[in-house]
Amino acid sequence: MSKVLIIGCGGVANVAIRKCCQCDDLFTDICIASRTKSKCDALKADLEGKTKTRITTAQVNADDASQVAALIREYQPDLVMNIALPYQDLAIMDACLECGVNYLDTANYEPEDLSDPAWRTNYEKRCKEEGFSAYFDYSYQWAYKEKFEKAGLTALLGTGFDPGVTQAYCAYAQKHLFDQIDTIDILDCNGGDHGYPFATNFNPEVNLREVSAPGSYWEDGHWVEIPAMSIKREYNFDQVGQKDMYLLHHEEIESLAKNIPGVKRIRFFMTFGQSYLTHMKCLENVGMLSTEPVEFEGHKIVPIQFLKALLPDPATLGPRTVGKTNIGCIFTGTKDGQEKKAYIYNVCDHQECYKEVGSQAISYTTGVPAMVGAMMLLTGKWNKPGVYTVEEFDPDPYMDALNQWGLPWQIDENPALVD
């Protein structure tokens, strides 16, 4: 029996909520709260009669910690699942601390307003000291570690697929397959086709900020940064086929570099088709990816937010997306003195996801691990006060739950390596 407050009701939250409702012995009570309450009410109406979970809804602006705290006091949840946007992470963590509730999310903090002078000063210092220039990093949330420890509360960061499941794969490889992991290549392949010339699979603003930024990887104890999309490889993915993939900066590299002892190199690759890249480059060249407000006919508009309004809502891609995703990690290292390699991955079919929960596979592969992470906290399987990423916990119950709840994984002991 548990009571969970879920903040956000977009593409990923829709899947997480539907999956929680499939497991209604554990998720007995859910409050769906978001900026637009009508979306929460519509989901509640759709789920009623299909689950024993008691669902309530609420309106909340999660940028405001005091609003979230008021809602927590009223609802008294055991856990807050933040499936809104990375911009709200700190406000929701503050509210959880204030009210004494555990926390989880699916993406690490980044500010909505990149021109905020206080944030900029920190950001520029970090770029110089650390050597990567992504707008997001873990420092803001890791700074809450002591507060959560003292309060006896757990914050589980980034329990989506990547970050999230990819780190569980790393912890599993570390625990069961290797004595020493030398290299990790995280490969995120979406072989799906939605038929639009250009659309993103999750929140367009967050997605386009991420993929248009310089790439970086971890090697021999430091970051190496490269121009956006300047390292390209081809890979033949199981059940998807040959795809071009590009090296990106990605948040789990930062925590894995700290938590996988002696790892020499960690890279992240994502597949993109030529049409996606051409559209993105063009939009970037004309300034449509900018986060700086511009004056237009007496209004201030932020170009990337205006673009979001024009692009298809990722939550609507489900019925039209066909094909599969294949996401996983390739490891090299040693076991019992022998060199070894292994590839742990999941293949997910867009249409199968749509049949089950009405969403495409990107929302599915993120929403299921959010629910699985919540299960770990609510059942006490993962329970240590502080702020942690997925690889810092025992991977076994999480990996078992992935198999049970729709994201089965497999291990290839002889994969092709990425050069």
Footprint of ligand NDP on this chain (CB under 6 A)?
7-13, 34-36, 39, 60-63, 83-86, 88, 106-107, 158, 160-164, 202-203, 206, 314-315, 366
Least distance from ligand NDP to the Cβ atom of residue 6, Å: 10
What backbone phi and psi angles, to 5 degrees, belong to 67?
A: -65, -40
Instruction: Judge whether 51 and 25 are in contact, CB under 8 Å.
Output: no
Residue 62 or 229 with smaller CB distance to ligand NDP: 62
List Cβ neighbours of 302 (8 Å cut-off, separation of 6 or more): 290, 291, 292, 293, 294
Closer residue to ligand NDP in complex, CB, 164/318: 164
Q: Which residue has the tokens 């992935």?
A: 402
How near is the Cβ of 412 to ligand NDP at its closest, in Å? Answer: 22
Choose among 378, 379, 356: nearest CA to 368: 356
Residue (51 or 67) nearer to ligand NDP, CB: 67
Cβ contacts of 123 within 8 Å, gap of 6 or more: 135
CA–CA separation, 54 vs 41, rounded Å? 13
Alpha-carbon gap, residue 364 to 346, rounded angstroms? 12
Which of 26, 22, 126 lies closest to 368 in space, CA to CA?
Answer: 22
Least gap, CB of 236 to ligand NDP (angstroms): 23
Cβ-based nearer residue to ligand NDP, 153 or 206? 206
In the complex with ligand NDP, the residue whose CB is nearer, 34 or 174, is 34
Residue of minimal Cβ distance to ligand NDP? 10
Closest contact distance (angstroms) between CB of 167 and ligand NDP is: 10
Provide the minimum distance between the beta carbon of 419 and ligand NDP in the complex, in angstroms, as a whole number.
26
Shortest Å distance, C-beta 108 to ligand NDP:
9
Which residue's CB is nearer to ligand NDP, number 15 or number 260? 15
Place of tokens 């309106």: 59
CB 189 within 8 A of CB 161: no
> Min. distance of Cβ 337 from ligand NDP in angstroms?
36
Number of helices (H) and strands (E), helices first, in the chain?
Answer: 15, 18
Tell me the closest approach of the beta carbon of residue 357 to ligand NDP, in angstroms: 13
Those residues with Cβ within 8 angstroms of residue 160's Cβ, 6 or more apart along the chain or in another chain: 12, 106, 107, 365, 366, 369, 370
Closest CB to ligand NDP among residues 60, 304: 60
CB of 85 to ligand NDP, least distance (A): 5
- Closer residue to ligand NDP, CB minimum distance, 35 or 267: 35
121, 170 Cβ separation under 8 angstroms: no
Taking CA atoms, 209 is separated from 150, 189, 213, 348, 413, in Å, by 35, 19, 6, 25, 35
The CA distance from 14 to 76, in Å, is: 22
Report the candidate in 324, 329, 381, 369 with the shortest Cα–Cα distance to residue 348. Answer: 324
Assigned token pair, 366: 């993120």
Residue whose CB is less far from ligand NDP, 47 or 224: 47
